[in-house]
Amino acid sequence: MTPNRDFYTGLVATAFFAIVLFVLIPVYVRVPSFIPGFAPPPDMWPRIIAWVGLVMGVLALALAVPKMRRSTGEKVETVGAYLRANRIFTYRFVWMIVGFAVFVYLMPKIGFLTATMALLAFLFIMTGDFSKRAWMIGLTILFPIFLYVIFTEITHTPFPHGKWFSLARLLHLI
């Protein structure tokens, strides 16, 4: 753990709980005009948690600053410089998010089975190691079909067929 990471952890926590406290709770936690008895309002508990989280985030931030200054010779690395230095990791992480988002978007369009095959292929590619290429190709096709059959036959799960295309329907016909 680098001192910079301590600092960014504190920063992320502080920003997150501040957004929850000052933006999300006022907008997304509706307090009814009448509450029966002496029951506390619905926003009380989230507010307590968000305040505690905010205080802890600020404390983490405050404690990380001197440590970071000391270890980096009084120079504090900026977020931009930090991300630039770890550019390749950042790109890969963004790719993972995009991959998951595309999977969720495509699932109702191309069907659950095809989407999971595509996701599995994407994940194999993202590992960056293709020494077991034959295994990877075989598993990409067969493993989702195996799970599809197991879950359909044993738990009777109605997996969605695609609006555009359905591999499951095609397999069923075969």
Partner 1 sequence: MWNELLGAFAAVATLPNFIAMAAGIWGGVIIGAIPGMTGTMAVTLALPFTFYLPPVTSLLLLVALYKGSTYGGSISAILIKTPGTASAACTVLDGYPLAREGKGGKALNMALVSSCIGDFISNISLIFLAAPLAMFALRVGPPEYFMLMAFSLTIVASISGRSLLLGIVSACLGLLLATVGEDMYGSFRFALSEDMKSGLGVVPVLIGLFALPEMIKLAVFRPEENTQAMKLGDNRLTMSEFRGSLKSIIRGSLIGVVLGAIPGIGPSTAAFFSYSEARRTSKNGDRFGEGELEGVAASESANNGCCGATMIPLLALGVPGDVITGVMLGAFMIHGLTPGPLLFQNNIGEVYSLFIGMLFSSLFLFVAGKLTASGFAKISRIPQQVLLPCIVILCVFGIYSVASSPFDVAVLLVMGIVGFVMMVLNIPAAPFLIAFILGPMFEDNMRRSLAISRGDLGVFFQSWISWGFFALTILFVALTIRREWQKWRSTSRAAN
| Binding residues among 141-170 for partner 1 as defined by CB under 8 A | 143-144, 147-148, 151, 154-155, 157-160
Separation in Å, CA 141 to CA 32, 112, 130, 144, 170:
53, 13, 16, 7, 14
In the chain, the amino acid numbered 54 is L
Q: Which residue has 């699932």 as its token pair? A: 107
Q: Does 8 bind partner 1 (CB under 8 A)?
A: yes
State in angstroms the smallest separation of the CB of 78 from partner 1: 17
CA gap 26, 43 in Å, rounded:
9
C-beta of 46: minimal distance to partner 1 in Å? 5
Mark the segment that binds partner 1 (CB under 8 A) among 76-84, 104-112, 163-171: 104-112
80 binds partner 1 (CB under 8 A): no
d(CA 67, CA 73): 10
Separation CA 168–CA 148 (nearest Å): 9
Q: Which stretch binds partner 1 (CB under 8 A): 1-9, 72-80, 166-174?
A: 1-9
* Contact with partner 1 (CB under 8 A) among 65, 106, 123, 145: 123
Which residues inside 30-49 make contact with partner 1, applying CB under 8 A?
Answer: 30-32, 35-40, 42-43, 45-46, 49
Q: Does 65 bind partner 1 (CB under 8 A)?
A: no
Binding segment for partner 1 (CB under 8 A), chosen from 52-60, 74-82, 165-173, is 52-60
**Residue count of the chain:** 174
The answer for residues whose C-beta is within 8 angstroms of residue 61's C-beta and 6 or more apart is 7, 10, 11, 13, 14
- Out of 60, 68, 167, 168, the only residue in the binding site for partner 1 (CB under 8 A) is 60
Phi, psi of 73 (to 5 degrees): 60, 50
